[in-house]
Amino acid sequence: MTAAALAALAALAAFGSLVLWPKPDLLTVVAATRLEPVARPHAFERIGRWPLVRRIPVSAAASARIRTAGVRWGPRALVGAKVVAVAAALVMFGAVLGPVALPVAFVAWRVPDIALARIARRTTRAADREIPVLLDLLAVATSAGLPPQLAFRRAVEGAEGPLAQTLREVVDATDLGGRWRDELRVAGDRLGLPDLRRLIGALARTEAVGSSLAEEISRLAADVREVRRAAAAQRARTAPVKMLFPLVFLVLPAFLLLTVVPVLLTTVRSIA
């Protein structure tokens, strides 16, 4: 076995040991204005706190994606993962590619950011799909006569998924003395969902004007479902156009190869 293969196996073993590092139980502590689960430092977190690695900054966009994705890693863990990815790429491809391994190392540096962005987008899409259910639960709770804050709490308890998890943090912050509308506004800014911001605006209008929250939420829920129904119909109308390319360039050639070509070959052989 060559030295390059041994180095590649060693790098894979080191990377796997870091990824599969046993994660201890979470320790619940009071942080800021909410109860947050805080874990002991992960292997990537420890690497990100090394003296030289600590000088590598973390962009505000990356920190926002970490909060949106809801992962347990912090910004320094992201830096540690990027350093480990670059080191593994250099060890695996440096002996084989030489100077050409530098672009590979740059790609490896970007891989954790790309993975984090995908997780954040998936979390945001999942939270956006849960908003109509949340609005329906909130409309039912307010129509039953519950005050706005208690109705919001009951609606969050009945919801599931990333949106419910984020809103439970709002409820926890409210229990610790925060204003639930302010905490909800912070959560809306973090997720960046237009319909959630419409809900926050409806809550602010009912508080300022004194109108019925049940009617406002019911109207908002109906509007949100109508808009999403129209968007789904629009996507259904554009589906045939999107299917045209694979149909013409993939399905049709295969169909011709299976049906027309054998007939042509048989005809040519019979004539010859």
CATH of the domain at 138: 1.20.81
CA 105 to chain CA mean position, Å:
25
| 134/164 Cα distance (integer angstroms) | 8
End-of-domain residue from the set 93, 124, 155 = 124
The identity of residue 31, as a single letter, is A
What's the pLDDT at 34? 39
Q: Are 9 and 119 in the same domain?
A: yes
Q: Are 80 and 189 in the same domain?
A: no
* Tokens read off for 3: 């030295």
Q: Are 110 and 150 in the same domain?
A: no
Phi and psi for 58 in degrees, rounded to 5?
A: -115, 125
Tell me whether strands 27-31 and 34-38 are parallel, antiparallel or unpaired.
antiparallel
* Tokens read off for 95: 């002996």
Q: Are 120 and 132 in the same domain?
A: no
Q: Are 113 and 150 in the same domain?
A: no
Q: Are 43 and 146 in the same domain?
A: no
| 6/12 Cα distance (integer angstroms) | 10
End-of-domain residue from the set 188, 209, 227 = 227
What's the pLDDT at 39? 46
| 245/251 Cα distance (integer angstroms) | 9
What's the pLDDT at 41? 54
The identity of residue 261, as a single letter, is V
Q: Are 137 and 54 in the same domain?
A: no
256 found inside a domain? no
| 139/141 Cα distance (integer angstroms) | 5
- How many independent structural domains does the chain possess? 2
Q: Are 100 and 9 in the same domain?
A: yes
Q: Are 9 and 112 in the same domain?
A: yes
What's the pLDDT at 186? 85
How many Cβ atoms sit within 10 Å of the Cβ of residue 204? 13
End-of-domain residue from the set 124, 154, 178 = 124
Residues of the chain with pLDDT under 70: 1-42, 95-98, 272
Tell me which residue of 114, 130, 118 sits closest to 193, measured CA to CA.
Answer: 130
3-state secondary structure of 31: strand
Query: pLDDT tens across 59-86, in order?
Result: 888 888 888 887 777 888 888 888 888 8
Domain, as residue range, for 100:
3-19+26-124
Phi and psi for 37 in degrees, rounded to 5?
A: -75, 125
Provide the angle, in degrees to the nearest 10, between the axes of the packed helices 180-191 and 162-175. Answer: 150
Q: Are 154 and 118 in the same domain?
A: no
117 found inside a domain? yes
Q: Are 210 and 141 in the same domain?
A: yes
Q: Are 119 and 133 in the same domain?
A: no
72 found inside a domain? yes
